[in-house]
Amino acid sequence: MNKVEQVTSYIENEIKSERFTNNQKIMSIREACDFFNVSKNTIVEAYDRLVALGYLKSKPGSGYFVNNHPKKHDSSKKPLIYFTSSGCCVIIIRTTKSIS
């Protein structure tokens, strides 16, 4: 698991376990860099993934906030599209059928 995945997984688990409450502001990018001992690009990419997955919402100028616990959302029908800090586009398509 790379650093982006580690940060993403940690925050996702904190939200799922409800240690972060709905609309709670999470660490700033700088604070997260210090906490996880990683670069700004790593945190930005992790936060971007969490926004795309519905765990966080971004409020420009204010920071990142927990977005209504995703278990309440049915996002299974929509593809998830996000851009990494390096400019790559990632598309995640969820399906209920296995791919063989």
Report the Cα 96 to chain-centroid distance in Å. 22
Phi/psi of residue 92, nearest 5 degrees: -115, 120
Look up the CATH number of domain 3-92: 1.10.10.10
Task: Summarize pLDDT for 2-31 with one digit per residue, the tens.
Answer: 999 999 999 999 988 888 888 999 999 999
Burial (CB < 10 A; 0-12, 13-18, 19+), residue 27, is middle
Domain ranges of the chain: 3-92
| Total-model pTM | 0.69
- pLDDT-flagged residues of the chain (< 70): 69-100
Instruction: Let me know the angle formed at the C-alpha of 59 by 58 and 65, rounded to the nearest 5 degrees.
Output: 55
